[in-house]
Structure 1
């Protein structure tokens, strides 16, 4: 009976994954063919397959639209996966890279890098771009370690303290980021402000090269440890009895999670609420097991960023709204709803 139930769950998870992927591909198709300059689908296909070479089409597709689509899909997948991991290791369904301050810390580290070091590396553009995810990882790691220290109560991670500490750290890191950005040149300040709002407007192939290695390395590592995320919901005595080192496993998963967040922030700024919303949708659709939740979270996150960017780019023309703001408009009411639901459960 259990085996039959597992098979049904696996089929359901596969169908949900494929459906979300199909929707993502549809949004990609609309994004690459539509905009201030529409390109017929046949011409897009010919340009991508190099069956024709029209300078205008090459510029629009390969320099503007395609890098933006790839960055949006990659960042969405990374943040959706990271959100599932954070909620698993903290056992808190309100955990999110933005709410916990990890994104703010990564943003602070990257703005600090832009302020202190980027000018000296401007002559080597690719090195400058490749270094940014590393700084984001270090900043996110510092925030994660501070959370683990301050959110503990009697040696146990307290969900309420975690959220409160995360909000406090996020405000503090955000204030420091603003202070540093105000010290920048006007041109750099404008670029940093747009970037911090969560924008993939200036996406480039260099940024894709900086982001993809983190996703290719860390997402499979997280998925291979999906069973550990399931076990982390058990109590300490049970975990010790089956030989699981809870502290070590949590730290490994946290490092992977912070790596994905730092790399995403380095190319797209702070896009909040993806890591909060995607796991909730995934659990409702495929259940609790993380071997199903993680890939579905990733593809739902991908769809959210692609759709948010399409809406921000087309709905408000000629003004372009950053994808981070579009998603926040949806995410804030959703977070308030989750807070009220959590409060009602505990009352």
Structure 2
């Protein structure tokens, strides 16, 4: 945990000092301590870079925790909010919100406080709908069929992705450009309103999941064995899944569809701290935080002055890792 927090601090240092406008460490310290403040440096640090880094950290924490829960509840190491379609469901709901909000409430700007705080709720509805559809089609003879779960998740993800694309094509040119970049996963336009909208979800739901993390250990057993311990299996699964859907939806509402963090973080965490979810959950949060902050730094600087959406960088890392896990599972 200390190593990954240290790595995140290093990534934070490179992220805040490098970019189109480079700032040295002494200038950053002076800006934070309000010693001879500079208007241009204040704008770059407090309005552009710092909220972006904080959003990346919060989204990484949320997706890492959510991925741990989904893998634990489904007992499937290849499960992930993106692969199972929860990201796509939440994303489609938010694209629909973007479209109708613009059409029906043009007197309120998109980045107003009202719209920023209501977006995670729309995302939750879409994510919950995707999860419900997946559960309905994956439930077989009273048991959650894991093969059906993955196949249904892929289909649901494709379906909601098509809905997002169709709705975004109905937007005007400027809104479409914003929606297209957002769908691919981007936090370049992060601001403090986004931070305040996602922070309560990550703190409250993350803490609730940590308090119930010991149940994820029991859920690795067969359902009959868990019931014999006096645990209400379906109730606890539903609570944990709803918490993870809430986390994913809040993250998607401010960052778009960023996949593979929820897949990679739990696996890396388990290799480091073992299989007890009391340790895996916070470790996954730390790993997810580092992965996304570092990936966003790469997205910002490698093709400077142009920027790549961070979702593309995460996918470049995540797809080979997913194939590795798939080969390992088959072996």
Deviation at 1:46, TM superposition (A): 1.5
State the match for 1:64 in structure 2.
48
Distance, in Å, in 2 between the alignment partners of 1:121 and 1:32 is: 35
Deviation at 1:236, TM superposition (A): 2.3
Aligned partner (choices 209, 229, 249) of residue 262 of structure 1: 249
State the match for 2:17 in structure 1.
33
Contact 1:106–1:136 (CA<8 Å) still a contact in 2? yes
State the match for 1:249 in structure 2.
236
Distance, in Å, in 1 between the alignment partners of 2:318 and 2:199 is: 26
State the match for 1:10 in structure 2.
none
Deviation at 1:122, TM superposition (A): 5.2
Distance, in Å, in 1 between the alignment partners of 2:205 and 2:315 is: 26
State the match for 1:13 in structure 2.
none
| Larger mean Cα displacement after TM superposition, 60-69 or 42-51 | 42-51
Matched, 1:170 2:157: yes
Aligned Cα RMSD in Å?
A: 1.0
1:128-180 CA deviation, whole Å, 9 max, x = no partner? 11010110011001111111111122111111111100000000000011000
Which runs of structure 2 are paired with 1:1-347 in the superposition (5 Å)?
Answer: 17-119=1-103, 120=105, 123=108, 125-344=112-331
Under a length normalisation based on structure 1, what TM-score does the superposition of the two structures give? Answer: 0.93
Distance, in Å, in 2 between the alignment partners of 1:269 and 1:43 is: 32
Distance, in Å, in 2 between the alignment partners of 1:121 and 1:255 is: 32
Deviation at 1:242, TM superposition (A): 1.4
Contact 1:81–1:298 (CA<8 Å) still a contact in 2? yes
1:260-279 CA deviation, whole Å, 9 max, x = no partner? 00000000000000000111
Structure 2 alignment gaps of length 5 or more: none
Distance, in Å, in 1 between the alignment partners of 2:81 and 2:33 is: 38
Residues paired across the two proteins, number:
328
Deviation at 1:121, TM superposition (A): 6.3
Under a length normalisation based on structure 2, what TM-score does the superposition of the two structures give? Answer: 0.97
Distance, in Å, in 2 between the alignment partners of 1:175 and 1:241 is: 44
Structure 1 alignment gaps of length 5 or more: 1-16
